[in-house]
Every structure is written in C-alpha cells, then in structure tokens.
Chain A
Amino acid sequence: MNSNEALFNYTLRLGDTSLILAQRLSEWTGHGPFLEEDLALTNIALDILGRGKSLLEYAAQIEGKGRSADDLAFFRNEREYFNALIVEQSNGDYAKTMLRQAFIDCFDLLFYTELAKSKDSVLAGIAAKSVKEITYHKRHSFSWIKRFGNGTEESASRLQHAFDELWQFTGELFEMTETDTILIKENIAVDLATLKPMWEKEIQELLREAHINIPETTFMQKGSRQGLHTEYLGFILAEMQTLPRMHPTAKW
C-alpha cells in the first residue's frame, strides 16, 4: 500500500462512518419523541451528513479515478464499505440511539480534535469544522444518558438494555491497520491507541453517573476495517442506493 492508497482508505473509512451514521439518524426525522428533540436530532444528522459528504468528496479526489463522492456512496457494495460497525446498528429505542451517539460523540470529539492537527490540510480543515459541531452533539447525547440513567425505572432499564447491545461494538473504534501505521508516520493520521484511555475514562464517568456497570471483560466485535459487517449494512445500502442503481446514467 502506498501512502496515497492509505490516505484514500483512511478518508473513505471516516466518510463511510459519517454517512452511515447520518443515514441511521435521519430515520428518526419526523418520528422523534417530541418536536424539539426531533429538530435537534435532525440537526445532528445534518452536521454528520455534511461531514460525510466532504470526506467522500476528498476520498474521490485522492483516488483520482474519476469517481465522484456520489459514485462512492451509491455504487459500492457491502464488502467495499468501511464504516465502523457501531454506526450501522439499528436505532432501536431512543436510549439505544442516544447511547450509540454518546459513544461516538465522545470518540469523535477526541479524534477530530487530533485530526485538526493533521499534516493533511484538507483533513485538518474538515476536522476543525467538525470539532465545533461535535462539542454540541456530545453535550446533547451525554445529557440524555444522564437523564435516562436517573430518570424513571423504565428509562434506566432501557439504557441498560442499550448498553448490553452496543458495548461489544465500541472496541473496534480503536482498531488500527497498516493504513493507520503508514499515515501516522507521515503525521497525517491520529494514533488511536493514545485516544483509548481518554475515551474510556470519560465513558466510565458518564456510565457511572447513569448507574450502568461496565463488565470487566466483554468480547469486542470487529471486522469493518476489512469490510466485514453486521447484517444491517446490506439493508441500509439497499435502501440508500436504490435510485442511483435503478438509473445508473441519471443526474439528480
């Protein structure tokens, strides 16, 4: 893998993660638990979709094979997608959506804060813009986790259930491959190993406040770095890609 290929893979991974998360979040639009929250979550989906679009545009440019961001989004198959497993998980109830979001927001704030210092100026620029947005997203998701953990019996048990489903997908966020190694040497990529203790500390604190116990050991799932996913991704892509695949020569 040369460094251009590594940069493409890396940007694609980030772009896919944002796009699939936004796709999931936007399923809530019009169906939120109350109007103000519906608007807030849609706003978050918009930020993340905007970031995904910028990243995929950059990936397309790096690749230099004439593919556009839309080509990357709508004409790749399940095994060619590299989004983190956690973002493709079903929305479930609002506890699950918010816990997934809290895990990701906490990761993203640490990650994009570091990426803003990347030697790659395009990635650094996208990251700097994202940090402001993620700061707000994290405040939002963290406050819901505290509310659920300390709200009613039902909200606490729903949160626990969400935790039991999602925790196994958090380990993968920190997995590094040859792509990372190459780009870390060039001061382009973020060393995920350095983020892990900070993420764990913040999440432990949040979960303690929400009365959720983190088990000593959990088997952590992985696979997305190799394009291996849960069964959800196929359905997400089938829905998302239907029109461009039906009309491959069309412009929209």
Chain B
Amino acid sequence: MDTAKFEEVFEAKLAKNDFIEPKDWMPENYRKHLIRQVSQHAHSEIVGMLPEGNWITRAPSLRAKLVLLAKVQDEGGHGLYLYTAAESLGISRDEMLNALLTGKAKYSSIFNYPTLTWADIGAIGWLVDGAAIMNQVMLQRSSYGPYSRAMVRICKEESFHQRQGYESITHLAFGTPEQKAMAQDALNRWWFPTLMMFGPPDRESPNSENALKWRIKRETNDQLRQRFVNQTVKQVEYLGLTVPDKHLKWNEAKQGYDFSEPDWDEFKNVIKGNGICNKERLASRNKAHSEGAWVRAAAEAYGKKQPEKEAA
C-alpha cells in the first residue's frame, strides 16, 4: 500500500470512532502531536506530586495522612500509565525524562503555585483535580487506544480525588473560624490559577482543528472554563465561601455565570518559568533523579550479573 492508502484507512478509522493502535499506521503529525500531549500530561502528574507531597508529613489527622499519601501515589501512577502510553508512540522514557529535567518539556503551570497552608490540599483536590477532570473526560474517547484506556482509569481516580478534596475543604469551611479563614484564603489563591488550567481564551488559541478531528479535544477552552465556573460556584455557595471575583454574576440569558478573566500576563509569565515555584519544582525533580542515579546503576549492574551466575 502507498501512503495515500494508509491515510485512507486511518481516516476511515477516525470516521468510525475506532481506535488507532500502536501498530497501526498514523500520520507523522498525529504521532508528534500525541507524543507532546501525552508526555506533557505525564510530566504534569509527576510534578504535581510535589506541591501535595509537601504536606504529607504535616497532614493533621491519621485519616487525612492516609488519604493524601494515597492520592499522591495515584498521581504517580497516572504518570506511569501515561509514560507507557507515550512510549507506545515510539519515544523512550529517558528521552521524556530528559526533556522534563532540562526544562525543555512543559507541564501544567498550576503546579508552580505553592501550597502554603493545609487548606491548599483540599483546594487542589476540589478545584485542580476538578478542572483536570473537566479537561480530561473527553480524552477517554480520544482516538489513540492506549491514551484513551489510560484516561478511563485516570478519570475514575481523579473524580475520587475531587470528592476527597471537597470533603476536606468542607471540614474547614464548617470548622473553626480559623479553619474557615484558611479555606477562604486557599480559594482566593487557587481560583484564578485553576481557571487558567483550561488554557488561553479561544480568541487567542491557535486553531485546534486537528485536535478536534483526532478526538483529543472536544470542546473549546472557553466552553470548558464556563462549565467549570457554573458547576463550582454552587459548591462555593454551599460552603459559605466567596468566589474572589467581584464581577461574578448569574446571566439568565446564557444560563451561566459571567466572570472575570484570569490575569493572562501572569499565566504567560508562569509558563515562561517565573512562577514562585518553577525553579524549585525542577530542582526537586533533578535532585531526586541525580541522587537516584547510583540506585539505578546498582540495580542494572546486579541485573547484568544474574544471568552470568546462572550460567556458571
């Protein structure tokens, strides 16, 4: 078959909502786009372990400690599924890791914000995992089989995290005045960064025609952002907290809230590497990697000696 024929088969699969599998032919730009998207997603999960991991040793109850430890472990597991999915597209784990460690690869900017108080842990589960789900639900039906299957599993766990985060923030919102203030402060700091997670406004977003066709995107950034706000405002009200946006207002005509845009200059600045934690996150990943080098080397050396021993 020539390329045109392959392309035809590929297009036909997309049209029928069939999955593209690792061994199937795929256009080079499809492969590239997916490698970038899936590896970035994996990096986000791994870097995302840091701001929350920061509070494991300080979790205020035994149950909270168990829940947080398990959550951070889940995020690492998500990273692992996603790296594996990306590997099936023909990139090695070392290449991806290297891109992350050298600062070449991107990861979700939200993790460059600091977790300053315990309430941030609840806020991350509730808002950040909540926004992640909204972004990711559609990826469960993405055209690339391994990615789609990884996302089914991940989304299930993310919604569990979101419920736990909301439960944690509920304890605070209905707790002592200090706890409630802590919850409000966390909401104040995480609200706009969370809205940024849906990406730049549609008017500035480059044409995502391919992403839509390949079913790695289904709704636009602004549509998703709007849905998130509509859903979350109700929860904020139930908690007796206040959305830190004085322009927030119900719009009867559009059956949704009007709200202020996040500060896109700040968004670009954090992406550029100027968030308060950018350097620390990368340094932290690099430290773990370089301090683990002798461990990996020992395992490799030992592994190589084993067959020799058996042969002898």
Question: B171, A252: Cβ atoms under 8 Å?
Answer: yes
Question: A250, B175: Cβ atoms under 8 Å?
Answer: yes
How many residues of B are in contact with the other chain, CB < 8 A? 47
Question: A53, B66: Cβ atoms under 8 Å?
Answer: yes
Known A23-B57, A29-B56: A94·B292 in contact at CB below 8 Å:
yes
Known A34-B292, A154-B297: A39·B80 in contact at CB below 8 Å:
yes
Q: Which B residues from 254 to 312 make CB contacts under 8 A with A? A: 284, 287-288, 291-302, 305
How far is A152 from B298 in the complex, measured between Cα atoms in Å?
Answer: 5
Give the distance to chain B from A156, nearest Cβ to Cβ, in Å. 8
Q: Which residue of B lies closest to A15 (CB)?
A: B62
Task: List chain A residues, Cβ under 8 A from B58.
Answer: 239-240, 242-243
Give the distance to chain B from A41, nearest Cβ to Cβ, in Å. 10
Question: B176, A33: Cβ atoms under 8 Å?
Answer: no
Question: A146, B302: Cβ atoms under 8 Å?
Answer: yes
Known A147-B298, A147-B302: A27·B175 in contact at CB below 8 Å:
no
Question: B178, A52: Cβ atoms under 8 Å?
Answer: no
Task: List chain A residues, Cβ under 8 A from B65.
Answer: 26, 49
Give which listed residue, A38, A155, A252, contacts B61 with CB less than 8 A: A252
Known A27-B57, A49-B69, A53-B62: A152·B294 in contact at CB below 8 Å:
yes
Q: Which residue of A lies closest to B54 (CB)?
A: A30
Known A31-B288, A34-B292, A49-B65: A39·B73 in contact at CB below 8 Å:
yes
Question: B66, A46: Cβ atoms under 8 Å?
Answer: yes
Q: Which residue of B lies closest to A243 (CB)?
A: B60
Q: Which B residues from 69 to 124 make CB contacts under 8 A with A? A: 69-70, 72-73, 76-77, 79-80, 83, 118
How far is A70 from B171 in the complex, measured between Cα atoms in Å?
Answer: 16
Question: B69, A32: Cβ atoms under 8 Å?
Answer: no
How far is A164 from B203 in the complex, measured between Cα atoms in Å?
Answer: 64
Give which listed residue, B63, B176, B294, contacts A250 with CB less than 8 A: B176
Task: List chain A residues, Cβ under 8 A from B179.
Answer: 247, 250
Q: Which residue of A lies closest to B171 (CB)?
A: A252
Give which listed residue, A26, A247, A250, contacts B57 with CB less than 8 A: A26
Question: A53, B295: Cβ atoms under 8 Å?
Answer: no
Question: B298, A155: Cβ atoms under 8 Å?
Answer: yes
Question: A29, B53: Cβ atoms under 8 Å?
Answer: yes
How far is A244 from B168 in the complex, measured between Cα atoms in Å?
Answer: 15
Task: List chain A residues, Cβ under 8 A from B83.
Answer: 35
Does B131 sit at the interface, judged by CB under 8 A? Answer: no
Task: List chain B residues, Cβ under 8 A from A154.
Answer: 294, 297-298
Task: List chain B residues, Cβ under 8 A from A37.
Answer: 292, 295
How far is A23 from B65 in the complex, measured between Cα atoms in Å?
Answer: 9
Question: B69, A46: Cβ atoms under 8 Å?
Answer: yes
Known A50-B66, A69-B62, A250-B178: A94·B50 in contact at CB below 8 Å:
no
Type the 1/0 row for A74-110, where 1 means its CB is closer than 8 Å to any CB of B.
Answer: 1000000000000000000110000000000000000
Give the distance to chain B from A66, nearest Cβ to Cβ, in Å. 17
Does A111 sit at the interface, judged by CB under 8 A? Answer: no
Interface hub of B49, B58, B62, B302 (most chain A Cβ within 10 A)? B62
Task: List chain B residues, Cβ under 8 A from A33.
Answer: 288, 291-293, 295-296
Does B9 sit at the interface, judged by CB under 8 A? Answer: no
Does B46 sit at the interface, judged by CB under 8 A? Answer: yes
Known A33-B288, A45-B69, A249-B176: A39·B77 in contact at CB below 8 Å:
yes
Does A117 sit at the interface, judged by CB under 8 A? Answer: no
Give the distance to chain B from A249, nearest Cβ to Cβ, in Å. 6
Task: List chain A residues, Cβ under 8 A from B60.
Answer: 74, 243-244, 247, 250, 252
Give which listed residue, A30, A43, A49, A244, contacts B49 with CB less than 8 A: A30
Give the distance to chain B from A21, nearest Cβ to Cβ, in Å. 13
Does B248 sit at the interface, judged by CB under 8 A? Answer: no
Give which listed residue, A29, A38, A39, A70, contacts B62 with CB less than 8 A: A70
Interface hub of B49, B60, B63, B284 (most chain A Cβ within 10 A)? B60
Task: List chain B residues, Cβ under 8 A from A11.
Answer: none
Type the 1/0 row for A141-155, where 1 means its CB is closer than 8 Å to any CB of B.
Answer: 000001110111011
How far is A30 from B58 in the complex, measured between Cα atoms in Å?
Answer: 15
Q: Which A residues from 34 to 76 make CB contacts under 8 A with B? A: 34-39, 42-43, 45-46, 49-50, 52-53, 56, 69-70, 73-74
Give which listed residue, A23, A42, A93, contacts B291 with CB less than 8 A: A93
Give the distance to chain A from B143, nearest Cβ to Cβ, in Å. 27
How far is A74 from B178 in the complex, measured between Cα atoms in Å?
Answer: 19
Residue contacts A-B, CB under 8 angstroms, 26 given: A29-B49, A29-B56, A29-B76, A30-B76, A31-B53, A31-B287, A35-B76, A42-B72, A43-B73, A46-B66, A46-B73, A49-B65, A53-B62, A53-B63, A70-B61, A70-B62, A73-B62, A150-B305, A151-B298, A151-B300, A151-B301, A154-B298, A243-B59, A244-B61, A250-B175, A252-B60
What 5 additional pairs, Cβ within 8 angstroms, besides A26-B65, A29-B72? A30-B53, A35-B46, A45-B69, A252-B61, A252-B64
Chain B interfacial positions (CB closer than 8 Å to A) = 46, 49-50, 53, 56-66, 69-70, 72-73, 76-77, 79-80, 83, 118, 168, 171, 175-176, 178-179, 284, 287-288, 291-302, 305
